[in-house]
Structures are given as structure tokens and as C-alpha cells.
Structure 1
Amino acid sequence: MFDAVTIGLGAMIGAGIFAALAPAAAAAGSGLMAGLAIAAAVAYCNATSSARLAALYPASGGTYVYGRERLGPFWGYLAGWAFVIGKTASCAAMALTVGAYAWPGQAHAVAVAAVVALTAVNCVGVQKSAWLTRAVVAVVLAVLAAVVVACLTGSTGSTGSPSALATAVTFGGVLQAAGLLFFAFAGYARIATLGEEVRDPARTIPRAIPLALGITLVVYAGVALAVLSVLSPGRLADATAPLAEAVRAAGVPGLAPVVRVGAAVAAVGSLLALILGVSRTTLAMARDRHLPHVLAAVHPRFKVPQRAELAVGAVVALAAATVDVRGAIGFSSFGVLVYYAVANAAALTLTRTEKRPPRAVPVLGLVGCLLLAFALPLSSVVSGAAVLAAGAAVYAVRRRARPGGPRSGKPQSGKSRTGGPRAAGA
């Protein structure tokens, strides 16, 4: 339980609080906290739906498995495609965040080195990854606590005047901020995608997911309120390193280097958990031959999908060497929201005997995901929709060329509707 919660915290806290506050403030202005509340509400619905499904299907792959089992092969494939593509972009964004904070002049080189190092850690077993994530989460929480204390006890009256960027609050701006902040909440999926490697998954996963989400929400709300107490929404929107700017505005400039180190460590924790999740979904899709079947191999000693880990690491390293951070974050948000839309749709098919959540939860989650996805910047929506359409076209061509295809409705990623999880090396 502790390791599962820690993996989720490492993915969520590292991904968002250092990166998403400024663009969210630019979109929502003084409506930032409303955007955070909407993002948290949608994330709660997604977490509840995912937890119930993960208890029923504790197999590597997350919503790829749930969509396939509950809605049909195409929807599972679409969810898996959205997750792998979106989270690969997110991996690149987090790697570049490491580089930007650790060595701004060599951000791309540091990003690639971080990807290589963390892929090596993941290849020797998930338990070692969980131990490293524990250390990362402890450091990040300590830094965030220092930021909150500094802002709430430091200088006041330094908020400055709001810029034109943040004076107007619109419903569309608040929704766009919620979509950007949702990027920071999405890490709980990492717990579900590790279904085959979690001890007693039917009991652990449904408890670990909402617990990790609740802790993250408390941390985010506390940090956001503390930062807004010393920075106006406009000044926050203009900040390139908002938490470092906040401690300087609070009269504690000596804490700024510590915050930069904390940001780099947080991004490392996020990247570690992201690579874990993407590789497990890659494993599940490779088992069903939606991706090259060679990636379905599990290492006999370490019991991890090393080939999938190495393939994901190589793609992320290439992306980290070439892509732009802002574009990667927007693209990732669109893909992840589509992924959770499928999860909520799958949860709607659960019966009472399968311990379905209240009907309103997956309905609100589904509507919320689609609403936030299409409220994102137009470039993110267009590029994300184009990639999803390309994936759907590839699926259609493969099904037409091979009518038998993967066995529709029959689980191949670790669990049947009535049976338990298959062995990791199956």
C-alpha cells in the first residue's frame, strides 16, 4: 500500500505543482482556484472509476485493459494509444523540466541523461523504483512545505499589480486552466497500470488511488493559496519559475536555489513513474499484438518488461532531445483526458455485483474529461485529435488485413472476467 501510494504521489506532485501553476494562471487569472477545484473534481471521478475497474482487472495496461474488456477491442486500443502517445510526450516534458532546472544551458542533454538513468533503474525491478520514489517524494514535500511556510510568514503586500493577462476571468479560461492543472493530477493511473506488480491488487489499488489523489489535492491547494498570497495572478502567470519567484517575493530569496533543486528532483520522480506506466501499457498492447509482440517479453529474473522499458526509454530520449516543453504538455493533456474518458465509459458498464460506483461519478467523469480536452489550446486539440485519428486508421487497416485480429473480448493482459492475474512472465 505504502509503495503504491508513493508511486502515485511521485507521478502527481512532481508533474504539476512546479510546471502547471503559471500557465493555468495565465488562462484563468483570479479564477485559478476554481480551475484547480474543477480539475480535482474530474480527477476524483476518474480515480473512483479507475479504482473499481483496477480491482476487477488487476493487470498491466490500466484503461487499455478496461476498455477492451468492457467496451470492445477498439476502445481498449484507443485508450492504450492515447495513453502511450500522450504520456510519452509527458515523459519528454518532465525530462526537459529536469534539464531546465538543473542546467538551463544544457537542458536537452541533461534531459536525455535523466531518461537513460531512470530507464536503467526501472529495468532492474519495480521495488527499487518504489524505494527511489519514496526518497523523491520526501524531498519534494519538504521543499513545498518550506515554500508554504515562507509565503505565509514572509513579507506581505508584494503581490504587485495584476497584468492584463490575468484581469479577465472567463468560463473558457477557467476550463482551460482546469485542463492544464489536470495534467498534474493524472499520476494516479500509474498505480492501476502496475496491477500485476502490486501485492493484493483487489484490496490495495482501490485504496491507494483515492488516498494518493487526496494527499496531492491538499498539497496543491495549500501551495496555490500560499503562492497567491504573495503573487498576484498576473505576476504568477508571467513567472518562469513561479515557486522560486514566490519565495523571493516573500522576502526569502535564499530559499530560491533550494526550490530549483526541489523542482528538478520532483521532475525526476514524475519521469520515473511515467516511464513505469507507459512501459506497462506498452507491454499489454504488445501482448495483444497492437504493438510489436517482441515488446511483450518479461525478464525472468527482475520480472519487469525490459524490452518495453528500453523501447519507451529510447523514444522518450529522442523526443527529449528535440521537442518543445509547452507543446508536449498540451499534447499530453489531450491524450490523457481521452484515456480517462474511456475509463469512465467502461465504469458505466459495471454491475452492482461488480461494485460499480454511483452512476453520477463515471457520467461526470466522462463529460468532464471531454469538456476539458476540447477546452485546451487549439494547437493541442488539433494535434491530439490528428494522432488519435491516425491510430484509429492503423487499427482499421490491421483489422481489415487480419480479420481474426486479437481475440475480441478475451483478455490477454493478465486477467479474465472470472480468473486471477496471470504470472508476470506469461
Structure 2
Amino acid sequence: MDQLARRLGVPDAVVIGLGSMLGAGVFVVFAPAAAAAGGAGLLAALVLAGFIAFCNATSSARLAARHPESGGTYVYGRERLGPFAGFLAGWGFVVGKTASCAAMALTIGAYLWPGQARLVAVGAVLAVTAVNLRGIGKTATATKVLVGVVLAVLALVAVAGVASGDVAPDRLGDLDGSGRGVLTAAGLLFFAFAGYARVATLGEEVREPERTIPRAVPLALGVVLAVYLVLAVVAVGVLGADRLAASAAPLADVVTAAGLPGLAWLVRAGATVAVTGVLLSLLAGVGRTALAMARRRDLPGALAAVHPVRRVPHRAELAVAAVVVTIVLLGDVRDAIGFSSCTVLVYYAITNAAALTLGRDPARRLPVRALAVLGLAGCLLLAVNLPLSSVLAGFAVLAVGAAWYALRPRRA
């Protein structure tokens, strides 16, 4: 049997979604977003990014319930729009998210042992891969622990900032006056939401996918949006837009500014745990997308193997881990947030386009077709308003993939 085992219920799926989002984004992205849009602009950009993520989540949930197999939009694009659309989505996801995995691994190294960041990063990739190879059940269990720790640390930051009395409402009015700055910030902040549909890429391992996925994805997204809004208000209110924009560790600086510098180490430890959680679920998601592409020979067919006992795509996960380790050792991809956001926004634009082919959904009260249109337009708008270097790099990678797809030998 070449199918993955269905072991995830709604709670497990929600936790995996939370673990995919409550990571590098909340600890890092607030600073460049504040630099682009100011204090009030940051909050506006966060709401905009969250709304577009909600549109995408609605489309992802509908498609995942209709096509409950591993691969996410790679599968949806192929089934609803044609093989090329599916390939472009899968290519962008695998390349962009592989770079993100390396960036997150390097972040772990920078927090734990700055002098040996690459060595620690390699160790983190190997450890996380070992957990994933033991089965998706182990991934969900480990993610529950990580999410619990991260939520506790984020609650500490929020309580410390509010209790200090240093939250100044007037700082929330700082705005750089640029509408494009808000769009740029929203595109960057999308990086912090981009894991909400991770459960969709694990669709082949979800019990009752037609019921579980539509419930789990919006639940996870709603919890994260609420957490981000609270933290953004506290961070801007305590630090101000200028200081937040210049900060390398914004949430640690909030605790320090609140008069509790001795707890900054705890926030840094929480950041390490959070990034580890994201790396855990992200490597699993990339591995499943590689599995789906290999099944259709859009990647080497050898990667389509499923372990006979663990029921995991072991060759695909090992291959992804090998590429991530290579990038960690040879490159510096800590500036990959914009690049990843660009390719992932294109990925979700294809998701919304595929959702438009589903027609109306009488079982849902939401205007699902309108949300798909808004999600498609919003993804493209945010993608082209990212920093120019990110846009050029993202579309160059997509162009390389498209050229390879067009020039490769035809299969029977």
C-alpha cells in the first residue's frame, strides 16, 4: 500500500497549524514591517495580511476537503486548472519553503550559539528530520509541546508590557504616510501567517478531511491573528515604531523596556522553541509536497516512496533535509522572508484561482466565491509590493521552473 495513514483529528490539525504560524514571524517580522509602515501602518498591515490569509484559508479548506491528499495547491492546481498551474504552485512552494527552512535553522543557531550558528543549524535540521521520520503522530505530539511553550512565552511578553504601564496609546498613531508601505508591510507579515494551511498539505493523513480541514484551518488562523494583534499593540505601545523597526529581537526588547531584563533570556529561549516548531511542521509539509510531485513525475519518481512501517515519505523528507543542510552550510538565507513571501503569495493566488472552479457552496454561509476573488487579487497585490529584490528573486525562480517544465522531455 502506497498511501499515508489517516491519524490526525481536529485538535491535532489545529495544533499543527498553530505550530506552523507561531514561529519566526512573530519574533522577527514586526521589525521590518514597522520600518515599512510605522506603528499604525503595522496594525493596518497586520489586519490586511490576516484578512487575505482568511480568504486563502477558506479556499484551501474547500479544496482540501474535495481533494484530501498530500500536496496542497500542487494537487488542487493540477486537478482544477491543469498540470502547469499545479507544477508552478508546487515548484514555488518547495523552493521558497526550503529556503525558509534553512533560514529558520540558522535562526535557531543564532539564538543558541551565535559563534557556531551553522553547526547548530545543521544539528537542528537533523533532529527535526529524525522526529518527522518517526511518523506524523510523533510530529503532532512534539508540536503540541512546542506550541504550549511558545504561547506561555508570548503571554509573558504581553502581560509584562501591559503591567509595566509603559504602553503609550499615542505611539499607535505613528504612520509613515505611505499606502505602499502598508502593502509592503502586509506582504512581509504574510510570512507570519503562511503556515495556516499546512494541515491541507497533510490532507492524506487527516481523519474525515471533509469535516476536519474546514474546521481546523480557520480555528488555527483565528487564534494566531488574535495573538499577533495583541503583541503588535504591546510592542508598538512600549517601544514605539522607530525603536521597534530598529530592533533585532523586538519581543525581548519589550520585556527589557518593561523593566524585566532578567526575563529577556526566556523570550529568546521561547523564540528558539517557536522556530523549532515551525521547522518541524514545515519540513513535514515540504516533504509531502515533494511526495505529491514525485508521484506525478514532476520531481524524480524515487521520492514517491512511503515507508512501509512509519507510513511517511521518508525519501522525500531526507532529500529536502539534505538540500536544507547544504544551504545552511554554504549560504546565508536569513533575508529570505521577502523571497519566501513572494513565492508563497503566488502559491496562494493559484489556490484561490482553483477554488473559483468549485462553484457555489450552499453548505457555507460565507460568500466563498467573493472571498476567493479577494484572496486572488490580494495575493498578487501584496506580492508585487514586496521589496524589489524579493520580487525579482521570487519571479526569477518561478520563471526557471516554468522554463524547465516547458523544455523537459514529454512523458507518455
Whether TM-score is above 0.5 comes out as: yes
* Matching residue within 17, 20, 26 for 2:29: 20
Q: 1:45 touches 1:361 (CA, 8 Å); kept in 2?
A: yes
Is the 8 Å Cα contact of residues 80 and 354 (structure 2) preserved in structure 1? Answer: yes
Query: Out of 6, 31, 35, which is 2:15 matched to?
Result: 6
Q: Which amino acid aligns with 1:276?
A: A
- What is the rounded CA distance, in whole Å, between the counterparts of 1:322 and 1:235 in structure 2? 33
| Unaligned segments of structure 2, at least 5 residues | 1-9
TM-score, normalized by length of structure 1? 0.91
- Aligned twin of 1:280: 288
Match of 1:172 in 2: 180
- The structural deviation recorded for 1:92 is 1.1
Question: Contact between 1:43 and 1:182, CA under 8 Å: does it hold in 2?
Answer: yes
Letter in 2 for 1:58: P
Alignment of structure 1 residues 220-259 onto 2, 5 Å: 220-259=228-267
Residue 189 (structure 1) shift: 2.1
Secondary structure at the aligned position of 1:188 is classed as coil
> 1:324 pairs with 332, 337, 341, which one?
332
Q: State whether structure 2 residue 168 is matched by structure 1 residue 196.
A: no
1:60–1:196 CA contact under 8 A, matched in 2:
yes
CA distance in 1: counterparts of 2:285 and 2:183, whole angstroms = 27
- Secondary structure in structure 2 of the residue aligned to 1:230: helix
Alpha carbons of 1:341 and 1:169: their partners in 2 closer, same or farther (altered >3 Å)? Answer: same
Partners of 1:230 and 1:219 lie apart in 2 by 17
Aligned to 2:353: 345
In 2, Cα distance between the equivalents of 1:45 and 1:33? 19
> 1:292 deviation in Å?
0.3
Structure 2 residue 104 is the aligned partner of structure 1 residue 94: yes
Instruction: Give the Å deviation of 1:329.
Output: 1.4
CA RMSD of aligned residues (A): 1.8
Q: Between Structure 1 and Structure 2, how many residues are aligned?
A: 399
Amino acid at match of 2:144: R
* Paired position in structure 2 for 1:261: 269
Between 325-334 and 131-140, report the one with greater CA deviation: 325-334
What is the CA distance between 1:19 and its match in structure 2?
Answer: 1.3
Q: Secondary structure at the match of 2:176?
A: coil
CA deviation string 1:211-237 (max 9, x = no partner): 000000011111111111211010000
Aligned to 1:301: 309
Q: Which runs of 5+ in 1 are unaligned?
A: 405-426
SS of 1:213 mapped into structure 2: helix
Q: Indicate conservation of the 8 Å contact 2:149/2:273, yes or no.
A: yes
Q: Structure 2 CA distance, aligned partners of 1:351 and 1:377?
A: 35
After TM superposition, list the pairs within 5 Å mapping 1:408-419 onto structure 2. Answer: none
2:6 aligned partner: none
Structure 2 residue 52 is matched with structure 1 residue 42: yes
Deviation, structure 1 residue 101: 1.2
Q: 1:350 to 1:4 in 2, by over 3 A?
A: same
Amino acid at match of 1:286: A
Say which SS state the counterpart of residue 18 (structure 1) adopts.
helix
Tell me by how many angstroms 1:187 deviates.
0.5
Please report how far the alpha carbon of residue 96 of structure 1 lies from its aligned counterpart in structure 2 after TM superposition: 1.3
Displacement of 1:327? 2.8
**2:74·2:89 contact (CA, 8 Å) conserved in 1?**
yes
Question: Structure 2: how far apart are the matches of 1:233 and 1:353?
Answer: 43
For residues 329-385 of structure 1, the C-alpha deviation after alignment (integer angstroms, 9 at most, x for no partner) is 111111100100000000011123686852210000000000111111111110111
Distance 2:324 2:11 in 1: 28
C-alpha distance in structure 1 between counterparts of 2:374 and 2:181, whole Å: 20
Question: What SS does structure 2 have at the residue aligned with 1:169?
Answer: coil
Alignment map for 1:111-122 (pairs within 5 Å): 111-122=121-132
- 1:160 to 1:97, Cα distance in 2 relative to 1, 3 A: farther
Residue of structure 1 equivalent to 2:3: none
Q: CA–CA distance in 2 between the matches of 1:142 and 1:17?
A: 14
Contact 2:360/2:369 (CA < 8 Å) preserved in 1? no
The answer to whether the Cα contact below 8 Å between 1:159 and 1:230 also exists between their aligned partners in 2 is no
SS in 2 for 1:129: helix
After TM superposition, give the deviation of residue 109 of structure 1 in Å: 1.4
> 2-side partners of 1:34 and 1:238: how far apart?
20
Structure 1 counterpart of 2:263, one-letter code: L
Matched, 1:393 2:379: no
CA distance in structure 2 between the partners assigned to 1:327 and 1:145 by the alignment = 27
Q: TM-score, normalised by structure 2?
A: 0.94
Matches of 1:116 and 1:314 in 2, distance apart? 9
Identical aligned residues as a percent: 64
